Structure formats: C-alpha cells, structure tokens
Amino acid sequence: MTHTWDPDRYLAYADERGRPFVDLITRIGAADPATVVDLGCGPGNLTALLAERWPDAAVSGVDSSAEMITAARASGAAATFEVGDVRDWGLDTPSPSGSGYSTGGEDGVDVLVSNATLQWLPDHLELLPRLVAQVRPGGWLAFQVPGNFDEPSHTLRTELAAESPYADHTAGAAVPSSYDAATYLRALQELGCDVDAWETTYLHVLHGKDPVFTWVSGTGARPTLQALPDALRPRFEAEFKRRLRDAYPDHGHGVVLPFRRIFVVARVPAGPTSGGPA
C-alpha cells in the first residue's frame, strides 16, 4: 500500500526532529570528504547541515518521495537532490555475498548518512552489507532510527487501527520498526567495520492543540491515516487524538513526548574482509 509525504507537516517540529541528526553527524570523523550522500533526505533541511560541515564536498540527497525532493530542491541547500529508493540506490559495484563484500573502491562515497529512514524498510538489517559496499575504504556509514515503537504514540495507533471498522482498510499500511543498538553493532562488526553505537531518549516538550498527533501524523501514523477512506478518517483521528491526550497529558507546561533514538556510526575497513552479514 503506497502513501505520500507532506513536507510541511513533517517540518512542524523541525528543530526537535533535527537534534538527533546533529548528534549523529558530530560523531562522524571524516575530515575532508569528497562525496557525501544523505539517503532518505526528506525536505533537505538537514542535508544542508552536511554541506555546511563539509563545504568542499559534493553533497547529494536521495528520497523516494517526489514531494520531499521538490521541497528539498527549493530549500536552497548547497546539494543536489534526486528521487530514488534506498533499496535500489548504489553505485555500480559488486553486490555483497555471504562470504564477504566488495567495497565501492575509489568510486565509493566518503560519507553515507541515513537519518530516520531505515525503519521503514523491514529488511534493512539485510541491506547493511550493500550500504557498506557503497562506501569507499576508510569511509563512514552513519544512521539513526527511532527506537520508541513500544511507546503509546505507536501502540495506540496499532490498537485502534486493528479495531472495526478500520482494520479492513489499515491491514496493509506500512509500519516502521527497528532493532536495538547492539544488533546493529554486531552486524556491522561482522562486516569488518569499527562501530560506535548508542541510544538516547529525548524529552521533547510540545505545545499546541494535540501536539503528539501532529507529530505522529507527519511520520509513523501517516501511512495508516492515508489508508483510511475519507468517510472514516475523521472518526479515527478524533479517537486517536483522545487516546493520545490521555497518554500524554499537558500539566500546564506543555506535553512531554519521550523519544528514544538509536545511533550507529561505522568506519568502513580499508579493504575487503572475510566477514559476512549478520
């Protein structure tokens, strides 16, 4: 089931969504990369930070959403942007095999970043060898994924979507998921990478009417909402908002949204190894 993204809704909490990206890229040790790629770049506001950190690099962003790429191209970021699927993206390099992998060699990228994107790919753990293979020996792969899928912001949506009359429409909607930091660390270590993996729980203080709904309707809940017919969506949204208000009350200082994030920064080895995918 396909869905589309709304750059304006996504940017409603741009500062809060941007904090993990900044925390991620500060741990990348690349001094003077020639090529930097942002996979799942969204509206390009964060890709611009890559261009600012490495002004001499050729920075590019890739996203599967045409709406996001249109916004990115209009953002003024010193980068190029193209529509593309993370699963299909890559330079023309040999595919990884069970007995090891082949790096992109001198044609690979120096820094490959993916921020809050891989959680939408159920097989993204198996995708890691292919991503490593696109990085030049000695280069960097860095990504961040949400790790809060057991929180009410997600479980309430899942529970409500499974109820009648919604279940018939939402059964095929995309649902994000991720692994813990240790799983990513082991998978990349077996590919020969030096890995720094950690997690952080942010306490976002949100204001406005139904702010948690505004947050999730721009990301995790969006496929579910779009799967519903127009006649049912307002009813679903009203009940979802009610349950979110009960789970995230405002005690007069704003609504606190705990948000756990998983971070991984991997240094690709200087040459092929015998390691295989996890």
pLDDT tens for each residue of 112-170: 999 999 999 999 999 999 999 999 999 999 999 999 999 999 999 999 999 999 999 99
* Cα 54-31-83 angle, rounded to 5 deg: 40
Give the span between the Cα atoms of 61 and 193, in whole angstroms: 24
Give the span between the Cα atoms of 34 and 28, in whole angstroms: 14
pLDDT tens profile 39-49: 999 999 999 99
**What pLDDT sits at residue 92?**
52
**What pLDDT sits at residue 94?**
41
So where are the chain's domains?
7-267
* Cβ 125 vs Cβ 278: under 8 Å: yes
**What pLDDT sits at residue 107?**
74
SS3 assignment, position 136: strand
Is CATH 3.40.50.150 what the domain over 7-267 is classified as, yes or no?
yes
Percent of the chain clearing pLDDT 90 (strictly above): 78
| Among candidate residues 63, 49, 55, 52, the one with its CA nearest the CA of residue 34 | 55
What's the mean pLDDT in 101-118?
79
Which residues, other chains included, contact 242 with Cβ-Cβ below 8 Å and sequence gap of 6+? none
Q: Would you say residue 102 has pLDDT above 80?
A: no
**Residue 20, phi then psi, degrees to nearest 5:** -60, -35
* Cα 118-272-178 angle, rounded to 5 deg: 15
If pLDDT is split at 50, 70 and 90, which confidence band does 4 have? low
Q: Would you say residue 2 has pLDDT above 90?
A: no
**What pLDDT sits at residue 100?**
41
**What pLDDT sits at residue 13?**
55
Q: Would you say residue 274 has pLDDT above 90?
A: no
